Amino acid sequence: MSDIITINGVEYAPTKRITVTRAVVVLDRGWIFAGDVTRQDGRIYMTRVVNLFRWESVGFPAVVTDPVGSNPDIRPILDLDVPAGSEVFSIPVADDWGLV
């Protein structure tokens, strides 16, 4: 897969590559975690993990955008290893998301 796209005959490519490893990962049965994610051999490994346990008065997008100002209940937990099939979706976030 190429990172180059063509619009009206002009090719565009990224000038700076950003490696994002931290993500908010939503798993089946409603579990929501954030951590440094590695996907390997059908597993999702997460380190520096926090559990997004509860939030009130704002929607999920507001919590992801502003985890401090939206005042969610974020709880640190041990490293996580889950089957890749349990992932519903994930959202890349800043390297310190949920840790501040």
Segment 64-90 mean pLDDT: 94
- Reply yes or no on domain 18-92 having CATH 2.30.30.100: yes
Q: pLDDT, tens digit, for every residue of 17-60?
A: 655 699 999 999 999 999 999 999 999 999 999 999 999 889 99
pTM: 0.77
Which residues, 6 or more positions from 33, have their beta carbon under 8 angstroms from its beta carbon? 24, 25, 27, 46, 49, 50, 51, 52, 77, 80
- For the record, the structure tokens of 9 come out as 């005959």
Give the three-class secondary structure for 26: strand
